[in-house]
């Protein structure tokens, strides 16, 4: 049977940690007198921690010292870590275990390609780490999505050609990264937002075993 590489983004694909990022960023924004809405939080999906803080500061028209920037990043992460410490496998998004089981049964390569520096901790918390043949996260890359580095590294670790890889992504930047990497991109979310993806599904409950089988055959 053909062996393909299936690369999963983390936040918004495997678990919904955006709500915890939002709570932590919101408290930080408040401490700086910046009004930060859930709509603005949408724009931080798939964006690195440094870039997220830069964006929040720009929205609030604030400039801060380098030292304060570093301190705020650490404070945000400390609060975020306190939320993810409480996570368990009940937070895995619907049908992710089903899709992983299909891929394991069909002996496919499975990788994680996330912007988060906390990805390994989260996979541990939800008890999914054991299923991944390769993990590439925010600690392993020098260029953030939409740069394809994260996915190209994952393909290399799986020892599978980029053209034989399939990426599941919920962010526009991530879909762009997958397309630039010459991989098949599968958007998870709203088709109006993720129109650049090769396929878009609202969530994994819409993805059939037949669809996966056809991807493997291609």
Binding residues for Mg ion (CB under 5 A): 9, 11-12, 46, 170-171
In degrees and rounded to multiples of 5, residue 14 shows phi and psi of -95, -40
> Which residue's CB comes closest to Mg ion?
12
C-beta closer to ligand B16: residue 164 or 169: 169
Determine the Cα–Cα distance for residues 218 and 210; give it in Å rounded to an integer. 12
Identify the three-state secondary structure at position 209.
helix
Q: Is 201 helix (H, G, I), strand (E, B) or coil?
A: strand
Which pairing describes strands 199-201 and 184-188: parallel, antiparallel, or unpaired?
parallel
Q: How far is the CB of 107 from ligand B16 (least distance, A)?
A: 25
Candidates 9-17, 64-72, 89-97, 207-215: pick the segment binding ligand B16 (CB under 6 A): 9-17
Q: How far is the CB of 41 from ligand B16 (least distance, A)?
A: 8
Stretch that binds ligand B16, among 8-16, 124-132, 156-164, 182-190 (CB under 6 A): 8-16
For residues 87-126, which are near ligand B16 according to CB under 6 A? 114-118
Restricting to residues 49-78, name those near ligand B16 by CB under 6 A: 49, 52, 77
Contacts of residue 174, defined as CB under 8 A and 6 or more positions apart, other chains included, come to: 9, 46, 113, 145, 146, 167
Cα–Cα distance measured from residue 172 to residue 196, given in angstroms and rounded to the nearest whole number: 8
How many residues sit in the footprint of ligand B16 (CB under 6 A)?
Answer: 20
In terms of CB distance, is 52 or 185 closer to ligand B16? 52
Q: What are phi and psi of 77, to 5 degrees?
A: -65, -35
Interface residue list for ligand B16 (CB under 6 A): 9-12, 21, 44-49, 52, 77, 114-118, 138, 171
């Amino acid at each position: 049977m053909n062996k393909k590489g299936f690369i999963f983004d983390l936040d918004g694909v495997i678990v919904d940690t955006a709500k915890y990022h939002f709570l932590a960023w919101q408290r930080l924004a408040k401490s700086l007198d910046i009004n930060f809405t859930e709509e603005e939080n949408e724009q931080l999906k798939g964006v690195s921690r440094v870039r997220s803080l830069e964006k929040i500061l720009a929205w609030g028209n604030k400039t801060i010292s380098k030292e304060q920037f570093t301190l705020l990043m650490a404070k945000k992460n400390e609060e975020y870590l306190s939320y993810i410490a409480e996570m368990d496998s009940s937070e895995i998004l619907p049908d992710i275990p089903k899709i992983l089981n299909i891929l394991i049964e069909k002996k496919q390569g499975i990788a994680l390609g996330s912007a988060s520096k906390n990805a390994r901790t989260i996979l541990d918390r939800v008890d999914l780490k054991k299923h991944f043949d390769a993990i590439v996260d925010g600690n392993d890359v020098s260029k953030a999505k939409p740069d394809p580095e994260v996915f190209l590294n994952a393909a290399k670790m799986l020892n599978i050609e980029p053209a034989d890889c399939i990426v599941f992504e919920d962010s526009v930047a991530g879909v762009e990264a997958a397309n630039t990497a010459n991989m098949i991109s599968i958007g998870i979310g709203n088709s109006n937002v993720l129109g650049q993806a090769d396929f878009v599904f609202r969530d994994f409950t819409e993805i059939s075993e037949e669809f996966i089988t056809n991807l493997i055959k291609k």
